[in-house]
Amino acid sequence: MIEVLRLGHRISRDKRISTHVALVARSFGASKIYYTGQKDGSYENSVERIVSEFGGNFSIEHVESYKKLFAGKTVVHLTMYGEDFLEVSDLKGDILIVVGGEKVPGEVYELADYNVGVTNQPHSEVAALGVFMDHLVKSSYPTFKDGKVRVKPSTKGKEFY
């Protein structure tokens, strides 16, 4: 099982970024996204609407404290200061991928099993999550047959089943 934790969501600043983090997590097969920071019903509704329309078994939950989520999981913190993500392979068991928002508390670096970077340059947490999850799932992308809307791959335009 893969889950994602988005740290420090700020309604006025992170609305689209946090939503994109959730969309990437879902599309690569995560089962849940947790988030800390400001509780945001609009964010939760957006994610739930996507799941309802496009399918899948994915949920969102606001948590006050992230520490309890770390228990019993392999915790991978995505940071541009971490070791090369290509060096992290064969992760086993339940995995919690942590992506930051506002300043990440120092204890996250200490509590994580891995602190990894997809590059050691400034970049987007959305991009980091996408690149890392692509590496993690190794081309076994999920299909969501229970969705009301299914996208048909097309070289031009939008097509749906």
Which one is predicted more confidently, 87 or 30?
30
CB neighbour list of residue 66: distance below 8 Å, 6 or more residues apart? 5, 7, 34, 36, 98, 108
For each of the domains in the chain, give its residue range(s) and CATH number, in order of start.
Answer: 2-137 (3.40.1280.10)
What confidence tier does 131 reach under pLDDT thresholds 50, 70, 90? very high
The pLDDT value recorded for residue 146 is 80
pLDDT bin (cut points 50, 70, 90) of residue 109 is very high
Residues found in the chain? 161
Q: Is pLDDT at 89 greater than 80 in this prediction? A: no
* pLDDT recorded at residue 153: 77
In sequence order, which residues have a C-beta less than 8 Å from that of residue 153 and are 6 or more positions away?
159
Other residues' Cβ atoms within 10 Å of the Cβ of residue 53: 12
Is residue 3 within 8 Å of 32, Cβ to Cβ?
A: yes
7 vs 141 pLDDT, higher one: 7
CA 78/CA 133 separation, integer angstroms: 11
Which pLDDT band, with edges at 50, 70 and 90, does 1 fall under? Answer: very high
Q: What is the pLDDT of residues 26-43, one digit of tens each?
A: 999 999 999 999 999 999
For residue 38, the model assigns a pLDDT of 93
Question: Would you state the pLDDT for residue 13?
Answer: 87
Q: At 47, is the secondary structure helix, strand, or coil? A: helix
CA distances from 51 to 10, 29, 68, 115, 145 (A): 22, 12, 26, 29, 12
